[in-house]
Structure 1
Amino acid sequence: PSRPEHPGVVDYALNLVDYDPKFLPAFWYVFRDTLVMDSLSSARPLMGRYRMVTLEGDLVERSGAMTGGHYRSKMKFAAEERSRIMDLSARIASAESERSERLDKMDRIEEQISHISREVEELNREISKKTFQVDEMGSAGPRLEKAISEKRERLAAMEGEALGYKEQLGNLESSIAGSERALSSAQERIDRLEVELKGSEIPDLNKKADAAGLEVRRLQERISLIDGEMLKDKIREEGLGEKLDELSLRRASLEEQKGQALARKSAGAASIAELKEKLAASLAREEEIEGELHGLKGERLKLLERTMALQKEAEQAEREWDKIEARKSATASTEGAVLSRVMELRSQIESCGVDSNQEPPNSEIVAEKIRALEQAMRDMEPVNMLAIREYDHVQIRHDTLAQRRNTLAAEREAIIEKLDKYDQMKKEAFMTSFTEINSNFKEIFRELSRGEGELILESPEDPLSAGMTIKARPAGKPFHRLEAMSGGEKSLTALSFIFSIQMHRPAPFYAMDEIDMFLDGANVERVARLIKKISARAQFIVVSLRKPMILQSRYTLGVTMQENNITTVTGIATG
């Protein structure tokens, strides 16, 4: 810092010391902004603005308090200087009161900050809930997009079919126009014949012929409808043929994979046999180690008890030793203080020109000296009398902050305890639901596939931080993970999982779109029976093209596309 331009200022103490720049923080901590003055008289005008020390050793704090220095028995303050010092003392008292008010205000602000922090935490929790809900809505987006893409593909296929039907309709309209022309010419001939044959039996026969024609047209329309249905069945049969070819190729691929898996199985069996031998040897060694470990645990327990006893004795001895050391230190400090006090009194007596070995002076001389000393003390005023009040205020603030700290510590412990309790409650609730859902899954999977299946947690000790695996074995097949199953097995496993959750916590209704697409007839029938059984507790809306599923339904709605892109909806009650 730069030196203030004022008479009597030497410089800042930090600038008068030579030191390595890397030690600047240490020297700044010691000297800070202490200003060196040539004398106390030069320092008086700057009181309250700087922390100063004179060349004679007088230390003047920023608050006006003076310590250290030398003693001059005849030091006097002029009346003007005394009034200035009193003014500074009043300003210091005002500043101290303002400081107290600001500290109180700071306490109130800290309380407000604490309250706002709690509100911010509440808002953060609300934000977390809303974020979780947004994530759930975002996870539903891919499923909806997939469904939309499937509907668009079906729409494109239906548009292609509609173009074919339009071409057929155009051909039929042209043929109908020709038939109408032939019919009109035939009608003219019929009118002439009716005139010629009036009064005969031919008109009655014509009426019967008209009725027969109407019946023929009705039957032709019915045939047209049947032809349309046959065309749809043919198109569906072609689609199923393509799927059958695809499944054949997939079956060949799976057969090849099966051969590779059998080869790996043989190699694995050999490895398992070898590992079993190693495991048997390891188990035998483990039993030996367990026996040795049991004996060592007993010895360790005895040593631990002995160590604890010795530690207690050592702690007791250390406490006794600390008490003795404390007494010794107190005695030594008291002895030093007494000796220093004696030496001080002796030096004071000798400085007053009195021989310490002589008899003490009489009371009048002592009283005179006391008055002189009191006058000297008055000459040294003013002294900072606010130090005691400031100490009391700081002590009160310290106690308040300590109480707050203890309160916060207690609240922290309570919050941690609540969090641990909530984690335990979450784990218990999860394990309760998981156990029930797993039991339902085993039962439903056994009912649908005649096999075995279960849900396995990756980390049973901490299930909320790990995942879950589905282990299933359809009838007559080995255990597989879900990724290694066929399409039909995956469908059965997924449906078993969905129905197990439904049995644990039912929803009002379920909408399922062609869940039996990859299932054979027997599995479709089992799934249909299961849905019918549990439909007493919830409503099921199932889109299906399979006969077993339709036969088990209570109500059936059929949707077909007629001429001119007109959709026909037909409903029947089957249950």
Structure 2
Amino acid sequence: MLYDCNEQLQQFRHVKKKALDCVNFTEQREQLERRRAELDGGDQKIRELVSILDRRKDESIERTFKGVARHFREVFSELVQGGHGHLVMMKKKDGDAGDEDIDNDEDGPREPDPEDRMEKYIGVKFLREVLEFQVSFTGQGETQSMKQLSGGQKTVVALTLIFAIQRCDPAPFYLFDEIDAALDTQYRTAVGNMIRRLADMADTQFIATTFRPEIVKVADKIYGVTYKNRVSYINVVSKEQALDFIGHDQTQNAI
């Protein structure tokens, strides 16, 4: 029987034994193709989700920018009598080669892009890369950029932006460290009055260190910091005591 079986098998000696594995390979191929189709479908859904999130992100950035820009104009006109200023959003479109090709978008309505290209913001990590300030302290002539301003004027612009953001999304408290050091008397007075109004209206606490009388005059509570034997001491002082100290300090500095 064994001999007969071997003789019969000899009839199939031209058939490759591995050909019998084709059935298994075919099944594996079909499974892999189905898996690839599932992955392709998942990839498409992920790309659609990313596109939706990017669009919502851009809409949120623009909405926030328009609110801050509106308040920036209002605050600047309050701090600088007769002056005006506005913010410009710096954008770059897909396909632009360098940073020179930038869209300047103010807070007004924009026309739709005829080429339907998604606009990209240059960045949000560093504010100076995103926003451009254009201000005029006299209300006449061309507006100036930050590079053209003096130290005191830059301080006014920076405070204007902080107060504009505060009006959009107030924080519980703000800590200012000698923000009035480089300001003229008129701007120190304007900043002090604005802090007083915002503290009353927005229920926000402002903590400021200063050697100038304008902010002291509008403060609710004043602390004097003294230094003795390498130790700092903090004590509550009256407004009169604080103003006397500031007046004496300014007299000493003048001498």
TM-score by length of structure 1 reads 0.33
User: Is 1:407 paired with 2:38?
Assistant: yes
Q: Identify, as 1 or 2, the structure richer in helix.
A: 1
Cα 1:399–1:559 shift into 2, 3 Å: same
Tell me what 1:447 maps to.
78
Tell me what 1:533 maps to.
197
Is the 1:560–1:567 contact (alpha carbons within 8 Å) kept by the matching residues of 2?
Answer: yes
Distance 2:234 2:70 in 1: 44
Give 3-state SS (helix, strand or coil) of 1:480's partner: coil
| CA distances 1:223-262 after superposition (whole Å, capped 9, x unpaired) | xxxxxxxxxxxxxxxxxxxxxxxxxxxxxxxxxxxxxxxx
Distance 2:199 2:232 in 1: 33
Is the 1:516–1:544 contact (alpha carbons within 8 Å) kept by the matching residues of 2?
Answer: yes
Give 3-state SS (helix, strand or coil) of 2:174's partner: strand
Cα 1:562–1:506 shift into 2, 3 Å: same
Tell me what 1:465 maps to.
122
Cα 1:485–1:564 shift into 2, 3 Å: closer
Offset, 1:569: 2.7
Offset, 1:507: 1.6
Distance 1:566 1:465 in 2: 45
Cα 1:481–1:423 shift into 2, 3 Å: same
Cα 1:521–1:573 shift into 2, 3 Å: closer
User: Is 1:480 paired with 2:144?
Assistant: yes
Give 3-state SS (helix, strand or coil) of 1:541's partner: strand
- How many residue pairs get matched? 204
Distance 1:406 1:80 in 2: 50
Tell me what 2:99 maps to.
none
1:544 is aligned, of 184, 192, 210, to 210
Distance 1:566 1:474 in 2: 40
Correspondence list, 1:179-194, <5 A? none
| CA distances 1:371-421 after superposition (whole Å, capped 9, x unpaired) | xxxx9x765245658667522211111110100111111111111111111
Is the 2:84–2:139 contact (alpha carbons within 8 Å) kept by the matching residues of 1?
Answer: no
Cα 1:548–1:379 shift into 2, 3 Å: closer
Is the 1:456–1:471 contact (alpha carbons within 8 Å) kept by the matching residues of 2?
Answer: yes
Distance 1:566 1:457 in 2: 45
2:185 is aligned with what amino acid? G
- Report the structure number with the largest CA radius of gyration: 1
Cα 1:513–1:379 shift into 2, 3 Å: closer
Give 3-state SS (helix, strand or coil) of 1:475's partner: coil
Cα 1:452–1:476 shift into 2, 3 Å: closer
Give aligned-pair identity as a percent.
24
Distance 2:211 2:41 in 1: 66
| CA distances 1:480-534 after superposition (whole Å, capped 9, x unpaired) | 1011101111111000011111222222211101101111111111101111111
Stretches of structure 2 that go unaligned for 5 or more consecutive residues are: 92-104, 106-117, 124-129, 241-255
CA-based RMSD: 3.0
Q: Identify, as 1 or 2, the structure richer in strand.
A: 2
Give 3-state SS (helix, strand or coil) of 2:238's partner: strand
Offset, 1:565: 7.6
Give 3-state SS (helix, strand or coil) of 1:455's partner: strand
| CA distances 1:117-154 after superposition (whole Å, capped 9, x unpaired) | xxxxxxxxxxxxxxxxxxxxxxxxxxxxxxxxxxxxxx
Cα 1:485–1:423 shift into 2, 3 Å: same
Is the 1:457–1:463 contact (alpha carbons within 8 Å) kept by the matching residues of 2?
Answer: no
Is the 1:449–1:474 contact (alpha carbons within 8 Å) kept by the matching residues of 2?
Answer: yes
Stretches of structure 1 that go unaligned for 5 or more consecutive residues are: 1-77, 83-374
Is the 2:155–2:183 contact (alpha carbons within 8 Å) kept by the matching residues of 1?
Answer: yes
Distance 1:380 1:563 in 2: 111
